Amino acid sequence: MHGKSNSSGRATQILIVDDHPIIREGMTLLLNLQEDLHVCGAAGSAEEALVAMERHPDMAIVDISLQSDSGLELVRTLRHRYPDLAILVLSMHDESLFAERALRSGANGYLMKLEATEHVLSAIREILAGNIYLSATMHEKLARALLTVPRKKPEGRIAGLSEREFEVLHLIGLGFSTREIAEKLNRSVKTIEAHQANIKEKLNIRSGKELMRFAIQWMESQ
């Protein structure tokens, strides 16, 4: 679907949503230098962003603060209307305060604007590869939170999951990749992939992307 990995070979189409023209222009210049990326539109407000979605971008890069609009509310709207859209939140706000909120709103990653340009490109490509992007510091914070939050007994739809499957689902909801989950649980990547396959079968989930969305929404409900 994204970048040159798709069957048509076209560049990944990206929409930039930021109320600062200099940011929009700078991001456009940076991304258009990449052979596999192309900025198909730029917007300064939520309203403009929704109109620009008519260009069918593969990815949206959204700022949290959009003058009178809420970037997080826009993320929620985009996720609801366009379930397959890749979304990166790029913001000046401290990730320790807003990264988890962004993920719960439907973003696939969070990056602070003070990061170097190579981190921007890494975040974009990590998300286009189907993963969640957070800084190493934020990943560590979420891992510590996992260890300190009291464990709940699985209920409702997830009641049929094993203890290990429940743990894997929890980590997916916190934004960790398969390899990171394997490292944290001291298991092989193949073992974690097997757990994920079992979870999808038990929950009647068809794809890894759908599993990630379910895990994040489930975490939000806890």
Looking up tokens 């052979």 gives: 35
| In contact, 88 and 108? CB cutoff 8 Å | yes
Higher-pLDDT residue of 104 and 37 is 37
CA nearest neighbour of 134 among 90, 92, 183, 178: 90
Query: Band of the pLDDT at 115, cuts 50, 70, 90?
Result: confident
pLDDT value for 150: 44
Higher-pLDDT residue of 170 and 188 is 188
Looking up tokens 């988890």 gives: 100
pLDDT value for 159: 78
28-52 as b/e: b if 16+ CB within 10 A = beebeeeebbbbbbbbbbbebbeeb
Query: Taking the domain 3-135, which CATH number applies?
Result: 3.40.50.2300
Rounded-to-integer distance, Cα 211 and Cα 222, Å: 17
Rounded-to-integer distance, Cα 146 and Cα 171, Å: 8
The beta-carbon contacts of 211-218 under 8 Å, at least 24 apart in sequence, are 211/172, 212/130, 212/132, 212/172, 213/83, 213/106, 215/169, 215/170, 215/172, 215/173, 216/103, 216/104, 216/106, 216/172, 216/173, 216/175, 218/158, 218/169, 218/173
How far, rounded to the nearest angstrom, does the alpha carbon of residue 85 sit from its chain's CA centroid?
10
pLDDT value for 125: 93
pLDDT value for 215: 86
CA nearest neighbour of 132 among 182, 168, 97, 86: 86
pLDDT tens column, 41-56: 999 999 999 999 999 9
pLDDT value for 84: 93
Q: Which fold has domain 150-221?
A: Arc Repressor Mutant, subunit A (1.10.10)
CA nearest neighbour of 168 among 110, 212, 207: 212
Counting residues of the chain whose pLDDT is more than 90, the rounded percentage is 44
Paired tokens of 105: 């709103």
pLDDT value for 221: 67
Strands 86-91 and 109-112: parallel
pLDDT tens column, 135-182: 777 766 766 665 554 445 445 678 788 878 888 888 888 777 888 888
Counting residues of the chain whose pLDDT is more than 70, the rounded percentage is 86
pLDDT value for 177: 81
Rounded-to-integer distance, Cα 137 and Cα 71, Å: 23
Instruction: Enumerate the domain spans of the chain.
Output: 3-135, 150-221
